[in-house]
Amino acid sequence: MEPAGPGTTVTLRDVAAASGVSLSTASRALDERGTASRSAAAAHVRKVAEELGYRRNSFASNLRRGETRTLGVLVPRLSDTVMALMFEELERAAAGRGYFAMVATSGDDPEDERRAAETLLDRNVDGLILATARLDDELPKRLRERGVAHALVLRTDGVSPSALGDDEVGGYLAVRHLIDLGHRDIAVVTGPSYTSTGITRLTGARRAMKEADIKPPEEWLLAAGYGIENGFAAGETLLRRDGRRPTAVFAANDNLAMGIIAAAHRAQVTVGEELALVGYNDIPLSSRLSTPLSSVRVPLDQIAGNAIDLIVNPGKEPRIRKSLPTLIPRESSGPPKHSAPRAH
């Protein structure tokens, strides 16, 4: 069967005729909105369509139904490994449900976030997925008021549909792990106070310490950004030679943990021996560091599927869906070394 020549448009009617099936049968076989039929007839239609060079104009057919089968995803930045991985999982989950995902970045400024969201809405997306939500963010509220289908991912404002990890449980697991190893001098470096992740991971860490009757100095509970440079600055503060040092640190993401590793190297403190360290998210690099990093693994694939379903099936409960994290222990966390030099 010869494909159509240049400039020739192959129609659905052409595919149906060449396949020897009705127009409706051909349409169902080539419909990309759901799970593809595995019947012999459908497989034959798809094979003929491929040989003819047929391309289904899903955009036009969806517009006739008042939808584009496209979802907009808004992230602060794609240079952040977690956000890049999150988008890949969202893209995969969307495709599995017959949707296409497009991404826009906004940084951390609420006004830039609003403009990026409007840009996606101008593309007639069927819904928005936001990985940018701040606790003081007005955008989710505006989307609710306008009736725009949306879901928050990784973070929540406690009101809009949200898919995220159970960050309080994750913070608890990280610090409980350090306590179980014998540590009591534990510091926590968490994310910005305007994020639900920053607050709830710290809440979980505090709960674990309270259970063990541990009362860390307030200067050991640091709120930072989520970048490596934030972790480095926090590490220099915690490991300065003129003060009491913690024997263990829970860093509320792996970037922060890597910054602390760099600060420890500068301070000549050995991670895994003189300083135990646990990160969060378990990005691929974590296990490949010279001292592999203990980290709390978040099921991004499950979170992505929940986020897509919150838009595709908007009436389904619960509206805020939390996935359980898992602690992955590696060489960076270890028991306190009583012989380690301590500054006084």
The half-sphere exposure of 86 on its side-chain side, counting CA atoms within 13 A, is 29
| 155: three-class secondary structure by DSSP | coil
* Average pLDDT of the residues in 185-210: 95
- Going by C-alpha positions, the residue among 255, 323, 320 that lies closest to residue 293 is 255
- Residue 65 has a pLDDT of 46
Q: Is residue 334 part of a domain?
A: no
For the ranges 127-141, 263-277, 283-297, the lowest mean pLDDT is seen at 127-141
Residues 89 and 47 in one domain: no
Is the pLDDT reported for residue 117 higher than 60? yes
Q: Which CATH number belongs to the domain containing residue 202 in this structure?
A: 3.40.50.2300
Residue 112 has pLDDT above 70, yes or no: yes
Same domain flag for 49 and 119: no
In a domain, 317, yes or no: yes
Distance CA 150, CA 140 (A): 8
Mean pLDDT of 185-212: 96
Kindly report which listed range (23-37, 63-77, 86-100, 127-141) carries the lowest average pLDDT score.
Answer: 23-37
Count of C-beta atoms within a 10 Å radius of residue 60: 8
* 175 shares its domain with 156: no
- For 214-338, where are the E strands, in sequence order? 221-223, 248-251, 276-281, 294-297, 320-323, 326-328
Residue 90 has pLDDT above 60, yes or no: yes
Q: Which stretch of 23-37, 163-177, 178-192 has the lowest confidence by average pLDDT?
A: 23-37
User: Can you tell me which residue has the tokens 């012989």?
Assistant: 339
The number of folded domains in the chain is 3
Residue type, 192: P
**Confidence tier at 134 by pLDDT (50, 70, 90):** confident
pLDDT band at 344 (very low <50, low <70, confident <90, very high): very low
What size, in residues, is the chain?
344
Average pLDDT taken over every residue of the chain = 89
Q: What does the pLDDT read at residue 10?
A: 79
Please give the pLDDT value at position 254: 98
Q: What is the pLDDT, as a whole number, of residue 1?
A: 62
> Which candidate, 198, 195, 192, 190, places its Cα nearest to that of 135?
195
Query: What does the pLDDT read at residue 273?
Result: 94
Residue ranges in 20-71 assigned as alpha helix (H)? 23-30, 40-52, 58-64
Alpha-carbon span 206 to 175, nearest angstrom: 8
The C-alpha atoms of residue 166 and residue 72 are separated, in whole angstroms, by: 24
Give the count of beta carbons closer than 10 Å to the beta carbon of residue 183: 23
Give the list of residues 6+ apart from residue 7 with CB closer than 8 angstroms, or none. Answer: none
Give tens-digit pLDDT for 35-87: 556 788 888 998 998 888 777 654 444 444 457 899 999 999 999 999 999 99
For the ranges 18-27, 61-70, 99-108, 181-190, the lowest mean pLDDT is seen at 61-70
- What does the alpha-carbon distance between residue 321 and residue 323 come to, in Å, rounded to a whole number? 7
181/160 same-domain check: no
Hey, is 323 helix, strand or coil?
Answer: strand
Shared domain check, 178 and 106: no
CB of 251 closer than 8 Å to CB of 189: yes
> Do 46 and 143 lie in a common domain?
no
Cis peptide, bond prior to residue 318, ω within 30 of zero: yes
Q: What is the extent of the structural domain holding 234?
A: 167-297
183 and 197 inside one domain: yes
The pLDDT assigned to 3 comes to 59
- DSSP characters for 207-246? HHHHHTT----GGGEEE--SSHHHHHHHHHHHT-TTS---
* Closest listed residue to residue 340, CA positions, set 270, 258, 281, 287: 270
More confident residue, 27 or 333: 333
Q: Are residues 306 and 280 in the same domain?
A: no
pLDDT of residue 270: 96
> Is residue 92 pLDDT above 80, yes or no?
yes
Report CA Rg, the chain. Answer: 25
The answer to whether 54 touches 18, Cβ cutoff 8 Å, is no
- 6-20 pLDDT per residue, tens: 546 778 888 899 999
